[in-house]
Amino acid sequence: MSYSAQFANSINDPAAFWREQADRLPWYKAPTRILAQDENGIARWFEDGELNTAYMALDHHVEQGRGEQAALIYDSPVARTTRTLTYSELRDAVARCAGMLSALGVTRGDRVLLYMPMVPEAAIAMLACARLGAIHSVVFGGFAASELAVRIDDAAPKVILSASCGIEADRVLPYKPILDQAIAGAAVKPSACVILQRPQCAAALEIGRDHDWQTLIERAEPAACVPVRATDPLYILYTSGTTGKPKGVVRDHGGHAVALHYSMRAVYDMRPGEVFWAASDVGWVVGHSYIVYAPLLLGCTTVLYEGKPVRTPDAGAFWRVVEQHRVKALFAAPTAFRAIRKEDPEAALAARYNLDSLKVLFLAGERLDPPTYDWLCEKFQRPVLDHWWQTETGWAMVANPIGIESFPTKAGSSTLPVPGFNVMVLDDNGIETAPHEQGNIVVKLPLPPGCLPTIWNNHQRFVTGYLQRFPGFYLCGDGGYIDDDGYVFVMGRIDDVINVAGHRLSTGEIEEVVAAHPAVAECAVIGIADELRGQIPVALAVLKDGQSLDEAQLEREVAQNVRDQVGALANLKQVVLVKRLPKTRSGKILRAILRAIADGQEFAVPSTIDDPLSLEEIRADMKQRRIGCFAR
C-alpha cells in the first residue's frame, strides 16, 4: 500500500488502521476496543487487550525458532569488551533478573529505578521489569545526586538498580557515591539497591540495603511473564534538562509495542534478523525505543555501544562498529556526526572500513543542519534521512517512510508526517498557516499509539503543557512550516524564535547560513536583548580542526552571507569563536542558557550538561567581545 493510502487510512479510520498493525503482534488477549477515552478524555489504545512486552520481544521469537539468532551485541571500546547474547540467552537472562526483582518484593505496578551505564544488564533490567509488569524509570548514569533525588521522590521506586561505575573515554566515574548522596537527600527511600560491580571500580555496599548483583542473580529463580493490560504503564522517563519538579513521561505497554513494531518496518525499513544500531544511551528515549524495545519486537539484532563517536579511540569508531557487526541502519544525533566531521573532515578514517552492510543513515534528536547533511551525503553516498520526534511521542512524527515508499529528500526537512500523525502548523491564533508560513507545529488529536497519555503524578501538567493552548491539538513546542509538497521543516523550539524590529525570525534559519561557511564545524545562534530592535542575533561558532581563520574575517563573511540569504533585517553582526558549545549528554545545544549568559540573567546549570566548563569559557568569550549585557 502506498504512503498516501496508509496515511489517509490512519487519519480517516485510525481504529481500523491500528487494529491491523496490532494483529501483527502476539497478544495474550487480542484487543477489541481499539480506540477509547479514559476518565480524563485522553485517547487510549487497545484498552481491553492483554500482553507482555518482554514476551513479545524475546520469548515469542524463541518459540518461532530465532533462539540462536543474535539479539543484543554489546560493544564497549572503553571497557575493551564485546559480547553477543542470542535470543535464548537474553530471554534467560531477563527471566533470571525478573526473578531477582521478584525475590526483592517487586510486583506488577511497582516502580524500579535504574541508574546504570551502557552495559547489557541495563537492557536486561528494563526487560525484566516489563516481564513482571513493574514500571521502570531509567535515569541517565552520571546525573547529579540532586537531580537523581527528585526523580526518586517522584517515581517512589521500591528497588534501585545501579552499577559501581560508568566509563568515559578517559576516566572512570564512580556511581555509588552519587547514588548514596541522592538517597540520603530523597524523602522516599528504596527498600533495596542492587549494585553491579564492574572491574574498573569496586563499590562499598551498605549492609541491610545494598546487594551484590551477581550474588542475587546466581540465587534467583527464573520468573514467568506476567500478563498486563495494554494501558498499564511500561515506564516513566523524565525529560532531559528538567529543573525543579521533574516531568515524567508515561508510556503504556500496548500502544508502545504496536507503534514501535510498525515503525521498524515503515520508518527504518528493517526486517527480522537484520542489525540495527541506535548510537544513543538507554537513559534517553532513543535508547528505550530503538536500542532495547523496537529492534527486539521485530526480531532484529540490536547494538548496545558503550563509547563515543570520537576518542574511543578516534573518529573512525562508528565505522569500525558498522563493519564488525554488519550494521544495516545506523541512527545517531547530528552532533555525533559533527564531532566526527570536525576531527576527520575528509572521512579518511571511514575509508579504512568496509561499510557495504550500511544501507542508510538516520538522524534525529536535534535539527539536522544542511552542512552536516551535505557532508554525510557527499562522503558516504547513502541515503541520509532526518526524522523528527520527541521523548513525549516515543517514535517518529515526521520521517521519510522508506519502508512504505521512499521520497526525495530536502535539506532541512524531515520529509512527511508518519501515518498516524496529522501534523499541522497553526499561527498564534490557532489558524492553519499557508505553505511556507512559519508557526506552531501541532498534531491533531487523537495522538497515535505509543505517545504519552499523561505525566506521572501530574496530569494537569500534561494538559497545561501540551493540550490547553490549541484545543483539539497536541502542541509540540517546536516552530516551523510545511511547504507546497507537504514536507515539514522544523526550525527549532518556539522559544528559539527571535523578534528583530518586529520581524519574527527563526534562529535555525540563520544557523543554516552560519554552519554553511566552510570553516565552521558547528554553531548556535541566539537572540539577545537589544534596546533599539528588541532582539538581535549573535552566532557562536566552533571552527573545524586545522582552520586558522581569524574572528574578524569570519564575522565579515558570515554577516554578508546572512544578509544575502536571510536578508538585512536579520542584522547578524557578531560572531564569537568558541572552543566548544555547551550541550546535554544527548547532544542538544543549551541555547536558553546561552541567552541567559548574554542577557545577564540567572540560570540553573542542568545535570544533563556534558561539559560545565564550557559555560565559563563562553561567558569569558562574551565578556571579552562585549556581547549583550557585557557591553553595558
DSSP characters over 485-535 = T--EEEEEEGGGEEEETTEEEEHHHHHHHHHTSTTEEEEEEEEEEETTTEE
β-strands 275-278, 301-305 pairing: parallel
Predicted local confidence at residue 503, as pLDDT: 59
Higher per-residue pLDDT: 495 or 96: 96
What per-residue confidence (pLDDT) applies to 241?
41
**Count of alpha carbons within 13 Å of 182, Cβ hemisphere only?**
27
Mind listing the pLDDT tens digit for each residue in 275-306?
A: 999 999 999 999 999 999 999 999 999 999 99
pTM as predicted: 0.85
Q: What is each CA distance from 301 to 180, 328, 456, 592, in whole angstroms?
A: 36, 10, 32, 38
Q: Band of the pLDDT at 242, cuts 50, 70, 90?
A: very low
Task: For residue 517, give the nearest of 572, 568, 586 by alpha carbon.
Answer: 572
- Exposure b/e, 420-455, CB count within 10 A at least 16 = b: bbbbbbbeeeeeebeeeebbbbbbeebbbbbbbbbb
Can you name the CATH fold of 3-307+387-480? Rossmann fold (3.40.50)
- Window from 97-111, 266-280, 329-343 with minimum mean pLDDT: 329-343
C-alpha distances in Å from residue 174, one per residue of 178, 197, 287, 324, 622 = 8, 11, 22, 30, 34
Residue 501: pLDDT band by 50, 70, 90 thresholds?
low
Average confidence (pLDDT) over 35-47 = 96
Q: Any idea which fold 501-631 has?
A: GMP Synthetase; Chain A, domain 3 (3.30.300)
Instruction: Check pLDDT > 60 for residue 487.
Output: yes
Pair type for strands 172-174 and 503-506? unpaired
Top pLDDT among 381 and 614 is at 381
304-328 burial by CB neighbour count: b if 16+ within 10 A, else e?
bbbbbbbbbeebbbbbbbbbebebb
User: Which stretches of 568-628 are DSSP H helices?
Assistant: 591-599, 613-625
Whole-angstrom distance, CA of residue 289 vs CA of residue 300: 13
CB atoms within 10 A of CB 357: 15
Indicate the pLDDT class of residue 607, thresholds 50, 70 and 90.
low
Question: What CA–CA distance (Å, rounded) separates 187 from 181?
Answer: 12
- Minimal CA–CA distance to 422: which of 462, 473, 470, 464? 473
116-160 confidence digits (pLDDT tens): 999 999 999 999 999 999 999 999 887 778 889 999 999 999 999
User: 3-state class of 171 per DSSP?
Assistant: coil
Ranges of H-type helices in 237-345: 253-266, 285-287, 294-298, 317-325, 334-343
pLDDT exceeding 70 applies to what percent of the chain? Answer: 96
* Residue 389 · residue 397 · CB < 8 Å: yes
Between 603 and 407, the higher pLDDT residue: 407
What contacts 199, CB < 8 A, 6 or more positions away? none
Question: Which is more confidently placed, 338 or 194?
Answer: 194
Q: Where are the domains of the chain?
A: 3-307+387-480, 501-631
Nearest to 238 by CA among 135, 161, 139, 114: 139
Is the pLDDT at 243 greater than 60? The verdict is: no
**What pLDDT digit, counting tens, does each position of 308-363 carry?**
999 999 999 999 999 999 999 999 998 899 889 999 999 999 999 999 999 999 99
* Average pLDDT over the chain, rounded to an integer: 93
CA 350 to CA 512: how far, in whole Å? 26
Asked whether residue 393 carries a pLDDT value surpassing 70, the answer given is yes
The cell for 400 is 521519510
Question: Is residue 244 predicted with pLDDT exceeding 50?
Answer: no
pLDDT mean over 362-376 = 88
| Average pLDDT score over residue span 26-33 | 98
pLDDT in the model for residue 141? 87
Rounded to 10 degrees, the C-alpha dihedral 327/332/338/341 comes to: 0
Q: According to the model, what pLDDT value does residue 628 have?
A: 86
* Average pLDDT of the residues in 93-115: 98
* CA R_g for the chain: 24
**How does pLDDT run across 81-92, given as a tens digit for each residue?**
999 999 999 999
Q: Can you tell me the mean pLDDT for 19-25?
A: 98
User: How far apart are the C-alpha atoms of 136 and 124, rounded to whole Å?
Assistant: 12
Instruction: Answer yes or no: are the C-beta atoms of 290 and 263 closer than 8 Å.
Output: no
